[in-house]
Amino acid sequence: MTATEAEVSPASEMLRRRAEEKENVRQAGALTDGERAMQEANALFREGQFLKAAVGYSKAAKADPTNAVIQCNLAYALLKVNKFRQAAAAAGRCVEIDPSSFKGHFRRGLALLPLEDFEAAIDAFVLAVGASPANSPAQREAEQLLNRAKWLCKKHAEGEGKEVPSVAADAVDPDAEKEAMTAKQKMAQKQKLARQMRVKKHTKSMMDKVLADSEGVRELEDTPIGPGQKVASALDPSQIAELSTEDEVLSSKKRLVDGEKMPYDAERVGRFAAAELACVQDTSKRDEYVHPIAIFLPGVKKEGWGDEGSGVGMRGAFDSQKTYQRMPTFLRDWAAKTCAHAVMIVVPKSQVAFPEVWRSDKQWPCAGDVDGYIVQLETPEADQRQAWFIELSSSGNVVTKHTLNAMRQCILPPVFQKIQTKTRAAKTKGKKKAGRVR
């Protein structure tokens, strides 16, 4: 037996085989018992049945003991029903499996605070700060709770007549500064923060322009980043809707309008939607959907063109509220100029910083941290508007396709809204003229 072989324990070998078996199951497109149990628990959690969800997550954890996400979700469900000791244990198992889990450290700290295990809570929040993205809202929230945990630790020690632990020696009352300020001081601080925000926005805008000029607009093939990885676009707002070059954009628009105009055909739109959905779910075509894309079905008939669509990239469209606000107008203008009969919008969930439509939505079909594609079908006929969420596993395989509520769970507002309004107005005007002739 070699030295390397001697280092492999039976337990680690068993875990390795189990991981291989799990990966084989995922590659085959099936769900493991643990994943299936977690989905059922997720559904209970979204309905507000937190205790039942905790039971479901416990079953899932038994079926898949090496899954950090299950343990993290179990901790969250237990926190919801004030089972702090069990929540701390579940969060502890989560970070044992995945030490880089921000949520695991954060939820462990939340569970330890009510148990008055302040020093352990401080350690958990310190790790949460380190595991969260720099200058992110998550990091700021972890820092706020870290400061509060230090203060509670200091007050508790002083109340017990004990020495203040070294981890809380620098603690200050997080509310004291606010209470001590006069109204004038509060206003001055507010104005100072506003000035800092304006400077920050201006600096970011200038940096974005410099980066956009240096990088240019790159093709999808140049950035083969799969779902699950957040990508900052660093594009100038004027370039957001131009994933392709200007010549390619014009060529695409020309392809959509060249040919004999044809009447709207609901069955053709259905075939188009089915074909595009199949492509989105095909792992061999994953590179085509790295960034958000809008696929237009032309309203013209030409030789060699059936139910296919023509795609226009929207890289960076969901990076911020400012970039997002341009998209509805851009899509409506494109649809009107090309006389499109339908638009299929495909958005990797990991590319969405705004709007996070799944937040606070109890009817969203998956847990908030589950990745996948948000897909939206837009047509001039309101009753044919549809939306789906294609759920992906951690390995990038399709788990299932969920049907979303097309009225309130879409990532974008109706694309054909203006066209419908103009059409209705034209019909009303025509009827009035006809009435006067009579």
In a domain, 15, yes or no: no
Residue 19 lies in a domain: no
Q: Taking residues 249-262, what's their average pLDDT?
A: 64
Residues 247 and 345 in one domain: yes
CA distance 416 to 379: 7
Together in a domain, 174 and 193: no
Together in a domain, 257 and 396: yes
* Statement to judge: residues 59 and 97 lie in one domain: yes
Task: Please compute the mean of the pLDDT values over residues 156-164 and round it to a whole number.
Answer: 85
pLDDT, mean of residues 395-412: 88
The confidence band for 237, taking pLDDT boundaries of 50, 70 and 90, is very low
Look up the pTM and report it.
0.43
373 pLDDT band (50/70/90 cuts)? very high
Asked whether residue 26 is assigned to any structural domain, the reply reads no
What is the pLDDT, as a whole number, of residue 7?
A: 41
Q: What is the pLDDT of residue 58?
A: 93
The mean pLDDT value for 391-416 works out to 87
Q: Domain boundary residue among 168, 199, 215?
A: 215
CATH number of the domain bearing residue 56: 1.25.40.10
Mean pLDDT is lowest, of 185-189, 207-211, 269-273, for 207-211
One domain for residues 242 and 357 = yes
Final residue belonging to a domain, choices 120, 150, 178: 178
Q: What percent of the chain has pLDDT over 70?
A: 71
Same domain, 233 and 364: yes
Residues 209 and 245 in one domain: no
Q: Does 12 fall in a domain?
A: no
pLDDT of residue 219: 30
Question: In sequence order, what are the residues at sequence separation of 6 or more whose Cβ sits closer than 8 angstroms to the Cβ of residue 244?
Answer: 217, 219, 252, 312, 313
**More confident call, 75 vs 245:** 75
Q: Would you say 125 and 109 are in contact if contact means Cβ atoms under 8 Å apart? A: yes
Same domain, 209 and 294: no
Mean pLDDT of 184-206: 68
Residue 135: per-residue pLDDT: 77
What average pLDDT does range 124-142 have in this prediction? Answer: 86
pLDDT recorded at residue 228: 33
Confidence class of residue 162 from pLDDT cuts 50, 70 and 90?
Answer: confident
69 and 126 in a single domain? The answer is yes
User: What is the structure's pLDDT at 91?
Assistant: 94
- The answer on pLDDT for 48 being more than 90 is no
Pairwise pLDDT comparison (72 vs 193), residue with the higher score: 72
pLDDT, average across residues 5-25: 52
Looking at the predicted structure, is the pLDDT value of residue 26 above 80? no
pLDDT band at 240 (very low <50, low <70, confident <90, very high): very low
Residue 206 in this model has a pLDDT that exceeds 80: no
Q: Reply yes or no on whether the pLDDT at 3 is more than 70.
A: no
**The total number of structural domains that make up the chain:** 3
Q: What is the 3-state secondary structure (H, E, C) of the chain?
A: CCHHHHCCCHHHHHHHHHHHHHHHHHHCCCCCHHHHHHHHHHHHHHCCCHHHHHHHHHHHHHHCCCCHHHHHHHHHHHHHCCCHHHHHHHHHHHHHHCCCCHHHHHHHHHHHCCCCCHHHHHHHHHHHHHHCCCCCHHHHHHHHHHHHHHHHHHHHHHHCCCCCCHHHCCCCCCCHHHHHCCHHHHHHHHHHHHHHHHHHHHHHHHHHHHHHHHHCCCCHHHCCCCCCCCCCCCCCHHHCCCCCCHHHHHHHHHHHHCCEECCCCHHHHHHHHHHHHHHHHCHHHHHHHCCCEEEEECCEEECCECCCCEEEECCCCCCCHHHHHHHHHHHHHHHHHHCCCEEEEEEEHHHCCCCCCCCCCCCCCCCCCCCEEEEEEECCCHHHCEEEEEEECCCCCEEEEEECCCCCCCCCCCCCHHHHHHHHHHHHHHHHHHHHHC
Are 95 and 124 part of one and the same domain?
Answer: yes
Q: Are residues 151 and 261 in the same domain?
A: no
**Residue 323's pLDDT band (boundaries 50, 70, 90)?**
confident
Decide: 335 and 359 in contact? Cβ < 8 Å. Answer: no
224 has pLDDT over 50: no
Q: Is the pLDDT of residue 437 over 60?
A: no
Average pLDDT score over residue span 163-192: 74
Evaluate if residue 139 carries a pLDDT over 80.
yes
Q: Which pLDDT value is given to residue 94?
A: 94
When pLDDT is cut at 50, 70 and 90, the band that residue 161 belongs to is: confident
Percent of the chain with pLDDT over 90: 24
> Which range, 103-117, 212-226, 305-319, is most confident?
103-117
Of 215, 239, 260, which one is at a domain's C-terminal end? Answer: 215
Average pLDDT score over the chain: 76
Confidence of residue 255 (pLDDT cuts 50, 70, 90): low
Is the pLDDT at 157 greater than 50? The verdict is yes
Same domain for 362 and 282: yes
**pLDDT at 24 exceeding the cut of 80:** no
What is the mean predicted confidence (pLDDT) over 326-342? 84
438 lies in a domain?
A: no
Domain holding 141, by residue range, is: 31-178
> What is the mean predicted confidence (pLDDT) over 196-209?
61
